[in-house]
A and B are shown apart, each in its own frame.
Chain A
Amino acid sequence: MGALGRFFKDINRNKAMLIMVLPATLWFIFFSYLPMAGMVIAFKEYRYSRDGFLASIIESKWVGLQNFKFLFSTNDAYIITRNTVVYNIFFIVIGLVLAVAMAIILAELANKRLAKVYQTGMFLPYFLSWVIVGYFVFSFLSLDRGVVNQITGWFGIDPINWYSDPTYWPIIIVVVFLWKSVGYNSVIYLAAIMGIDKSLYEAAMIDGANKWQQIRNITIPMLTPLITILTLLAIGKIFYADFGLFYQVPRDSGTLYSVTNVIDTYVYRGLKSTGEIGMSTAAGLYQSLIGFILVITSNGIVRKFNKDNALF
């Protein structure tokens, strides 16, 4: 009784705050936690019951890890995991280097007005949806109309059937991703560079440091915390692929699956073609679990080196 009384007193004391968290909390309950209960489907052979969804779940047979088997029965699991992770590693590493380099370049440009114009241009792709990027890419890669085949044609090279030849797609995917994201990320880093205390550079000048030494010894170290946080967040999402990039841009072309199939597209197609909800839920759970482990691990590592840079 006393505990309960104290509980209500606490509630009362935190009333305003509780009201503040209420809307988003409701959202979390409805859109995250209630659906999360649906994860049991991953362990069931899901069959419909006439009494609705809940009854379907309850009445469906437990099948243990059967639904996970299809992920691992072929080397599909290996391919989609490999694609998802390797692409993401490339995105993170190359994206980071290019974005930081571009930010430094923009920061060093003397003509600030032009720098602003460049920056605006680079930022544009970030605003476009993958559907639209898909149209763009098609105008370049279409077999008989695309610009690329027209240009290679001038040099007597046979037209390439881009959408059925997986050879070049690893590069195309990475290039398209960088095209869309580098400008945006460089703006973030540029903002951080602008925030660096100018007196540091002045002191370095007086000590006779040249441009490169300034960049290496002042700019980069000052950017490190931001780089760590953004990279850490990216690692947490290393098991999640950008669905549009891997589905819209290659126009869902089957022959390209060996290099474009990622966990997200695999789950989507699995659901679409077989309608086996159990299996796609299992794949989603697999994705969540590995992602969870990765975040915890990488955060732990960062924590070891520098507690302030860690996420939690």
Chain B
Amino acid sequence: MSAGTTKSRDFHRLTPVWNIAFHTVAGFFALLCVFPFLFVTILSFTDEATLAKNGYQLIPEKWSVEAYAYLFKAGDQLLRSYGVTIAVTVIGTVIGVVCMALFAYAISRKSFKYRNFFAFMAFFTMLFNGGLVPTYIVVTQLLGLKDSIWALILPLAVNAFYIMILRTFFSTMVPDAIIESGRIDGSGEFGIFFKLVLPLSLPGLATIALFSTLGYWNDWFNALLYINTPDLVPLQSMLMRIENSMQFILQNAQNTSLSVGVLQSMPQDTSRMAMVVLATGPIVLAYPFFQRYFVQGLTVGAVKE
């Protein structure tokens, strides 16, 4: 949204009444979107007894940092889960984007003889899948990935839908002329791809990377299927486990001085909320950064229309 855009829009400005109305609507909706997160944050800072007595309140009678203090003592599971989720997300996104970009680029090139075959092969998987058990067998027995971090990474690495988006992106955004010029310069196919095509396609790749990142960050189902070791339980899966019982994080606390008494004094409800806040916080803080690339990517994609 450059200065130029602003200026060119000025001359058909809204009337003040409508402007206020629009601001109200947009502002209200934005607030609505952020509110639950703020609310849970408030709850996590509520005193446990107050919470039990008064229910969930926007302005609690008594504030407390007990939940965080407690998690600080007993919550090393949280740190471990963070580590797992971050590792899975980063590795998975990189692998996924590379595989998908290469594939999408190849099938976007008219000079590739088998492009229709491979395009169809990808497209077909959007409609049919083999179901849970056969997939499970391939992952655990054929690939031997049970209880391994790769069981969280590989099944989500490639997505036919993203490949289709990328293919459209490549075929509309990368002019043939550029590829031709690369060829005249004597570059090989890979040279052309990495030196000429990729820099042009960053917004598209960023968009796919974002999709991928979100998919990994929010996945819990693969962990449910393939992971037994508490050391490899990712964030979302951990949040699901503590929904009914905080036992899980206590069980896996390194701090062996915790006794039965500590378990009893645990502020259960507020700790749970604090876990949600701690698990969400970083992505909430990081996402405006993603958002910039994302909007850029989409803007470029939309120009083609």
Contacts and interface: CB of A to CB of B under 8 A. Distances in A.
| Contact between chain A and chain B defined by CB under 8 Å | yes
Interface string B5-44: 1101111111000110011011101111110110110010
A205 interface: yes
A183 B25 CA distance: 13
A292 B128 CA distance: 8
A120 B12 contact: no
A35 B6 CA distance: 53
A191 B37 contact: no
Contact of A147 (B1, B56, B138, B240): B56
A123 interface: yes
A117 to B, nearest CB: 7
Given A226-B302, A288-B127, A17 B291 contact: no
Contacts of B189: 16-17, 20
A146 interface: yes
Nearest to B163: A24
Interface string A256-290: 00000000000000010000010011001100100
A140 B128 CA distance: 38
B100 interface: yes
A36 B134 contact: yes
Given A102-B29, A121-B31, A192-B302, A21 B102 contact: yes
Given A21-B106, A122-B29, A139-B39, A31 B55 contact: no
A195 B39 CA distance: 37
A119 to B, nearest CB: 8
Nearest to A192: B302
Interface in B48-85: 51, 55-58
A124 B35 CA distance: 10
Contacts of A162: none
Contacts of A226: 302, 305
Interface hub of A31, A134, A146, A182 (most chain B Cβ within 10 A): A31
A95 B10 CA distance: 29
Nearest to B301: A191
B103 A194 contact: no
A108 interface: yes
B220 A129 contact: yes
Contacts of A13: 113
A3 to B, nearest CB: 15
Contacts of B106: 17-18, 20-21
A161 to B, nearest CB: 15
Interface string B115-139: 1001001110111111111110111
B258 interface: no
A24 B305 contact: no
Contacts of A214: 12
A49 interface: no
A305 to B, nearest CB: 17
Interface in B288-305: 288, 291, 294-295, 298-299, 301-303, 305
Interface string A147-190: 10110000000000000000000000000000100110001101
Interface hub of B33, B34, B37 (most chain A Cβ within 10 A): B33
Contacts of A191: 295, 298-299, 301-302
B284 A124 contact: yes
| 5 nearest A-B pairs in the assembled complex, by CB-CB distance | A38-B134, A35-B130, A121-B30, A16-B189, A145-B55
